[in-house]
Amino acid sequence: MNTANLKGIHVLVTGASSGLGYSMAKALLKAGATVALASRPGSRLDESVSRLQNEGFDAAGLPLDVRSEQSVNEAVQWVKSNWGKLDVLVNNAGIGMRTVNPRFLVEPQPFFKVTPEGFRDLIDTNLTGYFLVARGFTPLMIEQGKGRIINISMNHETMRRKGFVPYGPSRAATESLSHIMAEDLKEYGISVNMLLPGGATVTGMIPEEIQAEIQSQFQLLKPDIMAEPIVFLASPDAEGITGERVNAVDFKGWQESIKK
């Protein structure tokens, strides 16, 4: 297990009220980081933060709609006022195929049956949201002279799979965005990496009513698959690593490869 000490490291995780975001936030907190769980305001966010605070973790709740420039600007001001810095930004907020086709894994729907509204809504959250949040916090990191951005992605298979418009294109674009961000930010001492679970995970993106139905086709991963790699990428051990695409399922193999 990763034994990194993240004491003094301040991290903001978007989409952190449940699923992968919550698991990553908890792993970072366990390693000693101070973490803001950013998500759309509501009882789910409040309950998630309270649960972690009751366990003794240094967690804060931060209402954030990643699709809104104003909401992002307010989050930036909150970080400046309360922390004065941001060491790590984890872009994770996203919506899945269930928003356009609840039975997407068992009854794929062709792209031409996706509504324009459904397409735009998912792209606005999954792609434009990553851009807006990174754009909002990057000036603070440039001012600091350091920072890390970790963009959560998915398998390349997901980007090509039948019936996966618009989710597949949103994550393919996320990876292109990440590579360009990494190049743009090298001169400022800011790293940008991608992290993906390595398969379908048991999260709210897969409706509960079809999870049992698809177990025979997909080996669903638990969200805590992200714990060890996210702690590593936030730790001093990852200093200087940028432009990498880390698959959580093969995390150990990736670690060995970068040592060579």
The answer to whether residue 2 is domain-embedded is no
Handedness of CA 153, 184, 79, 131 (dihedral sign): negative
Number of domains in the chain: 1
Q: Is there a domain that residue 3 lies in?
A: no
Over residues 9-28, the pLDDT tens digits come to: 999 999 999 999 999 999 99
Q: Rounded to an integer, what distance in angstroms lies between the CA atom of residue 123 and that of residue 174?
A: 10
Take residue 142 and report the two structure tokens written for it. 């440039």
Domain that holds residue 174: 10-259
- Determine the pLDDT at residue 16: 97
Q: Residue 249 domain-assigned?
A: yes
CB 152 within 8 A of CB 177: no
Amino acid (1-letter code) at residue 242: T
List the pLDDT tens digit at each of the 260 positions of the chain: 446 799 999 999 999 999 999 999 999 999 999 999 999 999 999 999 999 999 999 999 999 999 999 999 999 999 999 999 999 999 999 999 889 998 887 789 999 999 999 999 999 999 999 999 999 999 999 999 999 999 999 999 999 999 999 999 999 999 999 999 999 999 999 999 999 999 877 665 555 555 555 555 567 889 999 999 999 999 999 999 999 999 999 999 999 999 87
Position 214 scores a pLDDT of 54
In whole angstroms, give the CA distance from residue 228 to residue 74.
Answer: 30
CATH code of the domain containing 138: 3.40.50.720
Q: Is residue 203 part of a domain?
A: yes
Please state, in angstroms and rounded to a whole number, the distance separating the CA atoms of residues 227 and 3: 11
Measuring CA to CA, which residue among 86, 89, 93, 26 is closest to residue 53? 26
Is residue 201 assigned to a domain?
Answer: yes
**Residue 224 falls inside a structural domain:** yes
The whole-number pLDDT of residue 49 equals 98
pTM of the model: 0.92
Condensed to tens digits (0 to 9), the pLDDT of residues 90-115 reads: 999 999 988 999 888 778 999 999 99
Bridge-partner residues for 60, per DSSP?
Answer: 36
Asked if the structure places residue 117 within a domain, the reply is: yes
Instruction: Give the three-state DSSP class for 201.
Output: strand
Provide the pLDDT for residue 1.
45
Residue 244 inside a domain? The answer is: yes
